[in-house]
Every structure is written in C-alpha cells, then in structure tokens.
Structure 1
C-alpha cells in the first residue's frame, strides 16, 4: 500500500466512517460490533484498489452496502446463533417404547387364550412372515385349513383383545 493509498483510506474513513458506524449501530444495537464492521469494510476497501482509486465521496453507497452485507453475514454466522462445535455427536433421542411394550403384552396375553391350532397359524403367518402355503407345509395341514384357522383365530383374537379393553 502506497502513501497515496494510505491517505485515500484515511480520507475514506474520515468521510464515511462515523456515518457508517452509526448506521451499523442502528442495525445491530452493538457499538463494539459496529467498530468491527467498519474496520472490516475498510479492510475490504484496502483490498480493492479500484475503490481507493475513486474519490472518497463516490464510495459512500459502497461502504453502506458492504457494511449492511457484513451485518447480515454476522447475523447468519454460527457465532451469532451461539452454536458450539463438539467433539462427538450427542445421543439421538429415542421415542418412548412403553406403549408398544404394553400393546405387545396385551397381544401376548390374548394369544394365550386361543386354541393351540389357531395360535400356531397366527404366529407363523403374522410373526413368522410365512405365506399360507408355507404355514400349511410347516404345520402339515391343507392350505384351506390354514385359511380357516387364520380367519377364526383372528376373530377370536379380536374378541380376546376387546375383553381386555382394546378397541379399534
């Protein structure tokens, strides 16, 4: 930076520094932040020789625009939002499984009330994920019998659950 650039930068500050500072204080409400913003704007002017080559009076709108953009950038930054980096991620929140546990206990109690044949078909089909043909093969009964037992078993299971206070 030459002596001429130094004098132009000083002239730029003298001409616009105080008014830009007041503008930034108005935007942020923080005089210390305004000092930093004005200093950053001047640093950007120093890094942009074409700005210093202009007359200080012609750069007023440039200074206000740069200051406003710096205020916006600071408001969006992590420091402003008080975000703190951590070495490891916090544990994930796990939903309460109490309701699911109670429901499974109710279903288990209701299954116990079914006949062994109905219970076996329901357990294989719904909990084992087996098709009708697979259930028939595993239990050694015809597919029609599996379908019938599944139909009547689910009906009995629904009634057993209703007796325990479970509604649709």
Structure 2
C-alpha cells in the first residue's frame, strides 16, 4: 500500500510515520549524520523533523514512490544547512565581551610576558619555597624525588609546596594577575 494513500485513507499519523521510517528512516539518518559530521543525536532530531514535515504536508512531499527518497534527502540537507546557519559564530563586531574572550588566543609574546611575571613573583618567595616549586614544576620531579634532592622528608616538601603556592598566588595578585 502507498504510504501517502495510507495517510489519506486512514488519517493515521502512526501508520504514516512507521511506514516512512521503515522505508527511509535509516537512509535519512545516515545522510543527516554524515552531513553533521557524525553527530547522531542531532541527526535523529533532523530525521524526526523530516518525518513530521512529511506527515504535516504530504502534498509537498508527494506520493511515496521511487522519487520520494530524493525529496526527503533534500529536506534533510535543507534542515542541516538551516541549523548550521543558526549556529554560526557571531561576528567580531557583534560579539559580546564573553565571546571576545574566546577570540583571544595566546601567542609567544603573551607566554613570554606571563613567564616574566611569574619569575618576578617567585622572587618574593622565601628561598625554600622557591626551591621546592622549581623542583616540582620546573624540573618536573615527584614529591619523593624533590625530597631526596632537597634532603628533607616528603611531608616537608608537601608543606612547603602548599605555603609556596599560597605565597605565589598573593605575589601574582599584587602584580595584577587576577585569574590565579
């Protein structure tokens, strides 16, 4: 039985949609997922929207013959394109402050300036605190390795690290660094 005729004769949306899904659902889902870069959840939403539109406007979709799949593919493609345009990034001119933060990318100059600020702040630390941070972070040593190199127990390394981190945070804030 023709799906369009089934929908018209019985006016049964359930029968119409089941037949549509049985005949075309998997092909529509594969196409939508491919167009969406593998996003199967959005692809399922697109296929549901296509099915609803096909049921609501059966004359627009036409009879369920050999050419209907092509028309359904066109609807999928149009919905994906429309959805993509809705998710386009805002332009720089219209971007708010939160979006502007996303547009800023660190470069070599930013990294060099950050390193200089951190080194200056490290000068404010007591020598044992500076030493423990250098062993742990600059030399990438574990707590036990740093303890052996410094000649202190691991608990002392942990304690110095805690207080050094707090002191470094205070020194950085004094220099205007607020996100530490």
TM-score band, normalised by shorter chain: 0.3 to 0.5
TM-score by length of 2: 0.40
Larger radius of gyration: 1
TM-score by length of 1: 0.43
